[in-house]
Chain A
Amino acid sequence: MIGWLQSAVPHLIVAPILLPLLTAALMLLLGERRRWKALLNVASSVLGLLIAIVLLRWVDSDAVPAVIGVYVPSNWEVPFGIVLVVDRLSALMLVLSGIVGLCSALFSIARWDRAGVHFHPLLQIQLMGLNGAFLTGDLFNLFVFFEVLLAASYGLLLHGSGRARVQAGLHYIAINLLASFLFLIGVSMLYGVTGTLNMADLAQKIPQVAAADRGLLHAAAGVLAIAFLTKAAMWPLNFWLAPAYVAASAPVAALFAIMTKVGVYTVLRLWTLLFSAQAGDSALFGAEVLTYGGLATLAFGALGMLASQQLGRLASFSAIVSAGTLLAAVGFGQAKLTAGALFYLLSSTLAISALFLLIELIDRSRQTQAVLLADEADELPLPPELLQPAHDANLDDEQHALIGKAIPGAVSFLGLSFIACALLIAGLPPLSGFLAKFAMLSALLNPLGLGIASAAERITVAGWTLLGLIIGSGLLSMIALSRSGVRYLWAPQDRPVPHLRVAECVPIVVLLGACVMLTVRADPVMRYAQATADALHDPARYIEAVMSAKPVPSRAAVIGRGG
């Protein structure tokens, strides 16, 4: 039984793509039966998460050489057919998208899935696109999965309709279509220069490209990078992000928290693979662009957070801050820093996703009528009068004793969750946001590892800037988040107690609980991140694993050999 299970694990590589696809197809047959669709959505998301965890445990073994699962879906010889590859990074991203997808599905059950017919199938298709993009080892297949996840995201962004959503959707689609064209141009140029689309094969071919073609190769990589960096929300390609995320309904925005991370993932994967230190004349091509672009994004995002008056915009800009930090850290090309960045990726994605869900509940608790599905995006912040204490609240302790006011349970849940999100996003102790930033700062200051004298390795200007910006952006986001917390959770008086449903609280608890788990189990997670980063910066094993994958011999060939 155990042996059978172990032999089945390599076939699970394709499951994260097939499962959501089949689920979505089944949902279309269910028509208007919303309860069944919701049940199916949650069940399928749970199953998908379990499969992702099995894959994660499988690739996270101490075996030498490291386990890298390669699946040849159409059974073609390797550089010619499409391959799916699961290594530590892919498995990590699969688990992350599984958690966020599940929480989004759960949250939608409370009320959002009633705002349109096809929420559940679209969510599953989105998960399929995400998982496919994380798994594929082929550049053109990556394009196809990008289109799948984008097509689903267009539908999800419009979920609930309303003028603000259509308007934001129009811009979002136009930008993404344009980015897709750039993606295609980059891919076809790379094919024209190297004659292959397999990522591992590309990595092998790039050092051998003739000197005359190298300019074309770099142009191709640059065009491709613009497409990915638009998705990863690098400044100045990120002006689409805040309006789109603010307009999206809460469960969709929570799912979108991982969309910018897809861009970061592809940059990390392709850049470390194609332009690794072993790539000859092209080694570390474009590192400065990533670093300085990331730093600019980080500064832009932090200022944007400070300028935000709406909670939705605040969360959107914190997604930009997170993307900027990741891009800048990746651009340094140091394994230790990348490991810290991966830890940060986990923690910040979960926190931002939770914040988007929380915002919906906080916004709703300010409404006297609880049910309001029309777009609330154009709403101005509370007028300053509400920031003054109400007349019956006695704040003068010389005349009377302060009258304590009981905080209802629902409000304290919202408040505590908001504090947790703020701590995670700003990177303050004791939660995992702090550990992630600490890991990155430590790697910046000690490039060779703690305790090893690094006199020879001087910290560059970019290094100091990143250090300053990570700390500075933490301060700015803390100011922005605490100001919003005071305005939306402390200042309002005499409002009705918000009515929270279990289905809405559970996803927030799960997301924040995952961050607490990251904090408590920081050691194994950090080890995993370090192993992932080491493998990324030394892609020889990845290339070897993909190139040595053999298609399954056909039945006729096996019988012929046997007889």
Chain B
Amino acid sequence: MELVVALAIGVLTASGVWLLLRPRTFQVIAGLSLLSYAVNLFIFSMGRLAIDKEPVVEPGIPQDLLHYTDPLPQALVLTAIVISFAMTGLFLVMLLASRGLSGTDHVDGDKGDA
């Protein structure tokens, strides 16, 4: 499972970085979204990957980390998702404003050599 998660994060990051370096604003925003998925998965994996373990205390199960998964990274991911979602939304508005004002979807607003 570690390998699958690691590969997923790697592929998402690589695609995200590649798209981020493209000259079109839409590609940049898609790249940023992919990067945010990769980062969220990465945070999640930092609490160690576990199968069939609860993040909250259940009656009848001994209360130690052997029997539970770490709930804190999951809480962090939740916060990070909300924030990156909001920021991506904001960036989308900027993208449309830039498109409207400059008449092109180039990141520098250039019409010529795009």
Complex contact A191–B91 (CB within 8 A):
no
Residues of A within 8 A of B97 (CB): 161, 166
A181 touches B102 (CB 8 A): no
By the criterion CB–CB under 8 Å, are B79 and A140 in contact?
A: yes
Contacts of B54 in A (CB 8 A): none
Count of chain A residues with Cβ under 8 Å from any Cβ of B? 28
Which of A147, A173, A197 lies in contact with B91, CB distance below 8 A?
A173
A170 touches B42 (CB 8 A): no
| Proximity string of chain B (87-112) to chain A, C-beta cutoff 8 Å, 1 when within and 0 when not | 11011001101100110000111000
B80 at the interface (CB under 8 A from A): yes
CB pair B94–A181 under 8 Å, yes or no, is no
Is residue B83 within 8 Å, beta carbon to beta carbon, of the partner chain? yes
**Alpha-carbon separation in the docked complex, A181 to B90 (Å):** 16
Cross-chain contact B73 with A177 (CB below 8 angstroms)? no
Q: Which residues of A contact B5 (CB under 8 A)?
A: none
Q: Given A163-B102, A191-B72, are A181 and B35 neighbors across the interface (CB < 8 Å)?
A: yes
Smallest beta-carbon distance A187→chain B, Å: 8
Q: Which B residues lie within 8 Å of A184 (CB)? A: 39, 42-43, 80
Report the bound CA distance from A34 to B69 in whole Å. Answer: 51
Contacts of B73 in A (CB 8 A): 188, 191
| A185: Cβ under 8 A from any B Cβ | yes
Task: Give the CA-CA distance A180 to B107 in the complex, in Å.
Answer: 20
* A177 engages B32 (CB within 8 Å): yes
Residue in contact with A170 in the complex, picked from B25, B39, B48, CB distance below 8 Å:
B25
Contact of A151 with B101 at beta-carbon distance under 8 Å, contacts A174-B28, A178-B35 already known: no
Kindly identify which residue among B28, B32, B47, B90 contacts A151, using a CB–CB cutoff of 8 Å: B90
Please report which residues of chain B, range 41-89, place their CB below 8 angstroms from some CB of chain A when the two chains form the complex. 42-43, 46-48, 72-73, 76, 79-80, 83-84, 86-88
Contact A163:B43 (CB < 8 A) given known A151-B90, A173-B91, A174-B91: no
A154 touches B107 (CB 8 A): no
**A169 interface residue (CB < 8 Å to B):** yes
Segment 15-54 of B: residues with Cβ below 8 Å from A: 20, 25, 28, 32, 35-36, 39, 42-43, 46-48
**In the complex the two chains form, what is the Cα distance from A151 to B87 in whole Å?**
7
Greatest chain B CB density within 10 A among A170, A171, A189, A197 is at A170
Task: Tell whether, in the assembled complex, residue B109 and residue A191 are in contact, meaning their CB atoms are under 8 Å apart.
Answer: no
Q: Which of A169, A178, A184 has the most CB of B within 10 A?
A: A184
Excluding A140-B76, A180-B83, A181-B35, 15 further A-B contacts by CB distance (< 8 Å) are A140-B79, A162-B101, A163-B109, A167-B101, A167-B102, A169-B94, A170-B98, A173-B90, A174-B28, A178-B35, A181-B84, A184-B39, A185-B39, A188-B43, A191-B73
Which residue numbers of B lie inside 8 Å of A, CB to CB? 20, 25, 28, 32, 35-36, 39, 42-43, 46-48, 72-73, 76, 79-80, 83-84, 86-88, 90-91, 94-95, 97-98, 101-102, 107-109
Residues of A bordering B, CB below 8 Å:
140, 144, 147, 151, 154, 158, 161-163, 166-167, 169-171, 173-174, 177-178, 180-181, 184-185, 187-189, 191-192, 197
